[in-house]
C-alpha cells in the first residue's frame, strides 16, 4: 500500500484513477482546484481544493502526508483554446508543474506518473505512432506537455526524480459500474457529444471535415478506454516502485476509427439516430492518429481490457443516461 498524491483527481481521467488506486488498496489524497473537475468525482478520497501551483499549499500537503509518489493529472487540455491563449497553457501546464516538481524534490518524493498526450507528436509521419516517432507538436497544448517530458528527463539526471510520462491517445468511455464518467463543461469531445446528440439534448453534431485522406474522408483516432488508462498508471507505478528509470509510453488501443465509424457505433449502441451536418475542418486536427502501444505492453505488461469501440461507447452511454437523471 502506497500513499499517493493525485493532482486533478476530480477530473475525467483523474477520478477513474482515484477509484482504481483505492480498489488496489492505496491511500489517496486528491489536490484539485475544481476548474474543470467536480468535487463528488473523487469519491471518498481525502480531497484538498487548491491550486497545484500554490507552493505554500504543496509544502503543507507534503509535510502533512508522507507521499510515496505523485500522479499529476491537473492541466488544461483543449487544443483550440491553447492556440488562442498560449500563456495560460504554459503557465498552468509548465510553470505550475515545475512548482510541483520543486516541492517534490524539496520534500524527498522521487516518483511521478505524468499525464502526457498524443498531441506531442504533431502530424504523424507513419501509420502507427510508437515512442521513436518525431515529436513536433502543432499547438501550445502539445508543446506544453512535451516541455515537461524534457524537464522530467533533466530532473532525473539532476535530482534522481524518476517518472513515467503516459501519452494518451483519445481517452473515452466510463467506469463499467456507471458511477463515474466524462463530464466536461463545455464538452468538446466526440463520444460524449455524439451520445448527447443521440439523446436529443444537443443539436446536430458537426462533423469537422469530410475531405481527409481516409477511407470515408473523416479523421481517424485511437479511442482508448479510461479504465485501461487507469490500469496503465497502476503498472507505471509498480515499474517506478521497482526502481526502474524514467520512461515514456504511448497509450492507445492500436485501432483507428473514423468520426463516421464512431457515429455508427453510437447509433448501434443507443439504437437512436445521431443527426449530423458536415462542417469545415477544425484547425490543428491531423487526419489520423493511431498508437503503437507495444512498449507499454512489453515493458509494463499493459493489457487493455476494453479495446472494442462498441464497449467503450456502451460504457459512456450508460454514464450519459445516468447523468441525465441526476
Ligand atoms: N469531432 C467532430 N465533431 C465534434 C467533435 C469532434 O467531427 O463535434 C472530430 C474531431 O475533428 C476529431 C475527432 O472528432 O477528428 C476527435 O475529436 P476530439 O475533440 O474528441 O479529440 P481530439 O482528437 O481532438 O483530442 C484528443 C484530446 C486531446 C489530445 C488529443 C491527442 O482531447 O487532449 O486527443 O490525440 F491532445
pLDDT (tens digit, 9 = 90+) per residue, 190-240? 999 999 999 999 999 999 999 999 999 999 999 999 999 999 999 999 999
| Cα distances (angstroms) measured from residue 85 to each of 90, 93, 169 | 9, 13, 23
Question: Ligand 1, closest atom to CA 172?
Answer: 20
pLDDT at 164: 98
Q: Is residue 163 helix, strand or coil? A: strand
Q: Does 205 contact ligand 1 (Cβ within 6 A)?
A: yes
Domain that holds residue 77: 3-170+225-251
Residue with C-alpha cell 464497449? Answer: 311
Contact present, 283 and 322 (Cβ < 8 Å)? no
Q: Are residues 216 and 86 in the same domain?
A: no
Asked if the model's pLDDT at residue 17 lies above 90, the reply is: yes
State the chain's maximal CA–CA distance in angstroms.
56
Helical H segments across the chain, by residue range: 12-23, 55-64, 79-84, 86-89, 96-106, 140-159, 190-199, 226-241, 259-270, 294-295, 309-325
The answer as to whether 276 is a domain residue is yes
Contact present, 167 and 141 (Cβ < 8 Å)? no
- The residues carrying an active-site annotation are 141
pLDDT at 112: 98
Q: Does 276 contact ligand 1 (Cβ within 6 A)?
A: no
> For a substitution probing ligand 1, which of 115, 148, 169, 170 has the most ligand atoms within 8 Å of its CB?
170
Strand partners, 70: 5, 112
Mean pLDDT over 145-168 rounds to 98
pLDDT at 284: 79
- Residue whose Cα lies nearest atom 12 of ligand 1: it is 219
Q: Does 214 contact ligand 1 (Cβ within 6 A)?
A: no
The answer as to whether 238 is a domain residue is yes
Tell me the three cell numbers of residue 263.
Answer: 457515429
Q: Are residues 155 and 282 in the same domain?
A: no
Q: Is residue 36 helix, strand or coil? A: coil
Q: How confident is the model at residue 130 (pLDDT cuts 50, 70, 90)?
A: very high
Q: Does 193 contact ligand 1 (Cβ within 6 A)?
A: yes
Q: Are residues 211 and 232 in the same domain?
A: no
Ligand 1 centroid to Cα of residue 41, in Å, is 23
Instruction: Check which CATH number belongs to the domain holding 241 and give it.
Output: 3.40.50.720
Q: Does 79 contact ligand 1 (Cβ within 6 A)?
A: yes
Mean pLDDT over 124-129 rounds to 95
pLDDT at 184: 86
Mean pLDDT over 19-29 rounds to 97
Mean pLDDT over 140-152 rounds to 97
Q: Is residue 28 helix, strand or coil? A: strand
pLDDT at 80: 87
- Residue whose Cα lies nearest atom 3 of ligand 1: it is 207
Q: At what angle do helices 140-159 and 96-106 cross, to 10 degrees?
A: 20
Q: Given the cut 0.85, state whether the ipTM is greater than it.
A: yes
Asked if the model's pLDDT at residue 326 lies above 80, the reply is: no
Per residue in 252-293, pLDDT (tens digit) is 999 999 999 999 999 999 999 999 999 999 987 899 999 999
Tell me the three cell numbers of residue 196.
Answer: 448527447
Torsion angle of the four alpha carbons 302, 21, 41, 57, in this order, in degrees rounded to the nearest 10: -120
Count the helices and strands in the chain (H runs, E runs).
Answer: 11, 14
Q: Are residues 261 and 236 in the same domain?
A: no
Overall pTM surpassing 0.90 (yes/no): yes
Tell me the three cell numbers of residue 269.
Answer: 449502441
- Residue whose Cα lies nearest atom 4 of ligand 1: it is 190
End-of-domain residue from the set 251, 266, 291: 251
pLDDT at 289: 95
Instruction: Check which CATH number belongs to the domain holding 260 and give it.
Output: 3.90.25.10
Q: Are residues 60 and 159 in the same domain?
A: yes
- Residue whose Cα lies nearest atom 11 of ligand 1: it is 208
> For a substitution probing ligand 1, which of 139, 165, 190 has the most ligand atoms within 8 Å of its CB?
190
Ligand 1 centroid to Cα of residue 104, in Å, is 33
Q: Are residues 113 and 143 in the same domain?
A: yes
Strand 257-258 relative to strand 220-221, pairing: antiparallel
32/74 Cα distance (integer angstroms): 7
Terminus-to-terminus CA distance in the chain, angstroms? Answer: 34
Q: Does 221 contact ligand 1 (Cβ within 6 A)?
A: yes
Is 151 or 284 the better-scoring residue by pLDDT?
151
Ligand 1 centroid to Cα of residue 306, in Å, is 20
264/192 Cα distance (integer angstroms): 14
Instruction: Report which of 303, 295, 219, 299 is spatially closest to residue 259, judged by C-alpha positions.
Output: 219
Per residue in 163-186, pLDDT (tens digit) is 999 999 999 999 999 899 998 889
Q: How confident is the model at residue 120 (pLDDT cuts 50, 70, 90)?
A: very high
Contact present, 169 and 252 (Cβ < 8 Å)? yes
The answer as to whether 82 is a domain residue is yes
Q: Are residues 274 and 132 in the same domain?
A: no
Q: Are residues 208 and 89 in the same domain?
A: no
Q: How confident is the model at residue 102 (pLDDT cuts 50, 70, 90)?
A: very high
Cα dihedral sign, 264-232-119-181: positive
Ligand 1 centroid to Cα of residue 289, in Å, is 10
Ligand 1 centroid to Cα of residue 196, in Å, is 16
Q: Are residues 151 and 297 in the same domain?
A: no
- Residue whose Cα lies nearest atom 21 of ligand 1: it is 189
Q: How many CA atoms, within 13 angstroms, populate the side-chain half-sphere of residue 51? A: 10
Asked if the model's pLDDT at residue 325 lies above 90, the reply is: no
Q: How confident is the model at residue 313 (pLDDT cuts 50, 70, 90)?
A: very high
Q: What mean pLDDT is reported for the chain? A: 96
Amino acid at each position: 500500500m502506497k500513499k499517493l498524491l493525485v493532482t486533478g483527481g476530480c477530473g475525467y481521467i483523474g477520478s477513474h484513477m482515484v477509484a482504481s488506486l483505492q480498489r488496489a488498496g492505496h491511500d489517496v489524497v486528491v489536490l484539485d482546484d475544481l476548474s474543470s473537475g467536480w468535487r463528488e468525482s473523487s469519491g471518498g478520497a481525502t480531497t484538498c481544493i487548491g491550486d497545484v501551483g500554490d507552493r505554500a499549499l504543496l509544502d503543507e500537503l507534503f509535510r502533512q502526508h508522507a507521499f510515496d509518489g505523485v500522479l499529476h493529472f491537473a492541466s488544461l487540455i483543449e487544443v483550440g483554446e491553447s492556440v488562442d491563449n498560449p500563456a495560460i497553457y504554459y503557465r498552468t501546464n509548465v510553470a505550475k508543474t515545475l512548482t510541483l516538481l520543486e516541492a517534490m524534490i524539496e520534500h524527498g518524493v522521487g516518483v511521478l506518473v505524468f499525464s502526457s498526450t498524443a498531441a506531442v507528436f504533431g502530424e504523424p509521419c507513419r501509420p502507427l505512432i510508437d515512442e521513436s516517432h518525431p515529436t513536433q507538436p502543432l499547438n501550445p497544448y502539445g508543446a506544453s506537455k512535451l516541455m515537461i517530458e524534457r524537464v522530467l528527463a533533466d530532473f532525473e539526471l539532476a535530482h534522481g526524480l524518476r517518472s513515467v510520462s503516459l501519452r494518451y491517445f483519445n481517452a473515452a468511455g466510463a467506469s463499467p459500474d456507471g458511477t463515474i464518467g466524462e463530464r466536461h463543461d463545455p464538452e468538446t469531445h466526440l463520444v460524449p457529444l455524439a451520445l448527447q446528440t443521440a439523446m436529443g439534448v444537443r443539436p446536430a453534431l458537426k462533423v469537422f471535415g469530410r475531405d481527409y485522406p481516409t477511407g470515408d474522408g473523416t479523421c481517424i483516432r485511437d479511442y482508448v478506454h479510461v479504465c485501461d488508462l487507469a490500469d496503465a498508471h497502476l503498472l507505471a507505478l509498480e515499474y517506478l516502485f521497482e526502481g526502474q528509470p524514467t520512461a515514456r509510453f504511448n497509450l492507445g488501443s492500436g485501432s483507428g476509427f473514423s468520426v463516421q465509424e464512431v457515429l455508427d457505433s453510437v447509433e448501434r449502441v443507443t439504437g437512436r439516430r445521431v443527426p449530423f451536418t458536415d462542417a469545415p475542418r477544425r484547425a490543428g486536427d491531423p487526419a489520423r492518429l493511431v498508437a503503437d502501444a507495444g512498449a507499454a505492453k512489453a515493458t509494463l505488461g499493459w493489457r487493455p481490457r476494453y479495446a472494442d469501440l462498441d464497449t467503450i461507447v456502451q460504457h459512456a452511454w450508460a454514464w450519459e443516461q445516468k447523468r441525465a437523471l441526476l
